[in-house]
């Protein structure tokens, strides 16, 4: 097994070209409510690209492996009244690795079977660190230290060196189950196997990890990972209390706020979010409202930073459809039936921002 060495340190500050792309962050409605007299620009300025919780949570993780450099086309939510943008956002696997290296300060091995994905991830990492330096949120030495903590490899066996593994591959049940079956054979007897799934049953994934079923748990990070503080923690039937406690402690050390969900279809976040998006599509499909009116009333009437149709574009319409299918099939409840128009858009290849066209068009 040949694992890449930690990436070379950043070049001297004087040789750096500062990133010119603007990466917007989600402004939670609670912030906007608490600061009603500030202009949108002032509220946006108050946000920070990274979670800023102090590194004070106790954990026993000495090395993290993240499998999957970027399992979904990510999105960054714009400040109020901003137009949809086309800057790329942190790919999810990298986002997890970055927060672990920066906030929990643990060495990380980022594993992907695609060298191109790893190269893209590390190039984006440099951009993120440069931006933090330009905003005086990181010193040169801090950025170098974070960069040095992240190593990359295409060799899955490198996961054996970690005592906490987070899987961030596409939402394909067979793929995840096969991966967990392989990881269970590779890792040590005390290693925690975490999945970043947003909808697939943890119990079914754990069943594939023969001999390690009790050490499987879900850590569902929200996009973009460096910004969003919430992480859903989900136990399968087999998950031990010790595994659950360890996962909670580690995400807290990453500066995140855990919320525990039962292993039910969609968990908490998508059980609430996806039907909301789906109903907005139904409103469009049945003529209750036009696209702009649907998004406008939700933005300006409920104080959310982005309307449901634009949000669906940024998540990916195929991802929304896949989760709605899980909800519908696993509950047999008609209220979760995917909108016909959502299916048609996916069939047409109109997947949202990542394909250039969804409910909106992106150049």
User: What does the pLDDT look like over 174-233, one tens digit per residue?
Assistant: 999 999 999 999 999 999 999 999 889 999 999 999 999 999 999 999 988 998 999 999
pLDDT value of residue 70: 66
Among 232, 261, 278, 355, the active-site one is 232
Active site residue 113: no
Among 51, 89, 196, 198, the active-site one is 198
Domains in the chain, please, with CATH?
A: 13-261 (3.40.50.720), 270-355 (1.10.1040.10)
- DSSP annotation of 348: T
Q: Kindly state the average pLDDT of the residues 281-308.
A: 97
Q: Which pLDDT tens digit goes with each residue over 32-66?
A: 333 333 333 333 333 344 444 444 457 899 999 99
Q: What angle do CA 68, 100, 318 make, to 5 degrees?
A: 35
Mean pLDDT of the chain: 83
pLDDT value of residue 183: 98
Among 51, 65, 223, 270, the active-site one is 270
Residues 6+ apart with CB under 8 A from 34: none
How many whole angstroms separate alpha carbon 124 and alpha carbon 152?
Answer: 14
**pLDDT at residue 95 tops 90:** yes
**pLDDT at residue 81 tops 50:** no
Q: Kindly state the average pLDDT of the residues 88-98.
A: 75
Active site residue 223: no
Active site residue 270: yes
How many whole angstroms separate alpha carbon 167 and alpha carbon 96?
Answer: 10
pLDDT value of residue 124: 92
Among 167, 199, 220, 223, the active-site one is 220
Q: Kindly state the average pLDDT of the residues 78-97.
A: 52
Active site residue 220: yes
How many whole angstroms separate alpha carbon 207 and alpha carbon 1?
Answer: 28
């Amino acid at each position: 097994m040949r694992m890449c060495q930690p990436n070379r340190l950043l070049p001297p500050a004087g040789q750096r070209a500062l990133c010119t792309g603007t990466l917007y962050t989600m402004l939670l409605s609670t912030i906007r409510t608490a600061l009603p007299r500030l202009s949108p620009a002032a509220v946006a300025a108050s946000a920070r690209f990274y979670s800023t919780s102090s590194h004070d949570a106790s954990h026993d993780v000495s090395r993290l492996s993240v499998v999957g450099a970027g399992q979904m086309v990510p999105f960054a939510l714009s400040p109020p009244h901003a137009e949809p943008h086309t800057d790329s956002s942190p790919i999810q696997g990298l986002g997890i690795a970055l927060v672990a290296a920066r906030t929990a300060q643990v060495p990380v091995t980022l594993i992907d079977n695609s060298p191109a994905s790893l190269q893209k991830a590390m190039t984006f990492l440099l951009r993120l660190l440069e931006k933090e330096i330009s905003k005086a949120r990181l010193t040169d030495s801090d950025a170098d230290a974070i960069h040095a903590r992240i190593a990359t490899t295409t060799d899955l066996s490198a996961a054996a060196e970690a005592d906490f593994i987070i899987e961030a591959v596409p939402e394909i049940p067979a793929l995840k189950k096969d991966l967990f079956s392989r990881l269970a054979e590779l890792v040590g007897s005390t290693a925690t196997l975490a999945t970043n799934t947003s909808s697939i049953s943890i119990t079914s994934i754990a069943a594939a990890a023969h001999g390690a079923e009790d050490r499987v748990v879900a850590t569902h990070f929200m996009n973009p990972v460096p910004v969003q503080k919430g992480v859903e923690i989900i136990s399968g039937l087999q998950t031990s209390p010790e595994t659950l406690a360890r996962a909670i402690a580690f995400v807290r050390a990453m500066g995140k706020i855990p919320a525990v969900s039962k292993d039910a279809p969609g968990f908490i976040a998508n059980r609430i979010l996806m039907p909301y998006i789906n109903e907005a599509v139904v409103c469009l499909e049945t003529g209750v409202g036009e696209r702009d009116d649907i998004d406008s009333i939700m933005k300006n009437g409920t104080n959310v930073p982005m309307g449901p149709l634009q949000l669906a574009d940024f998540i990916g319409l195929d991802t929304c459809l896949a989760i709605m299918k899980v909800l519908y099939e696993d509950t047999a409840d008609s209220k979760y039936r995917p909108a016909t128009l959502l299916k048609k858009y996916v069939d047409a290849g109109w997947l949202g921002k990542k394909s250039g066209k969804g409910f909106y068009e992106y150049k």
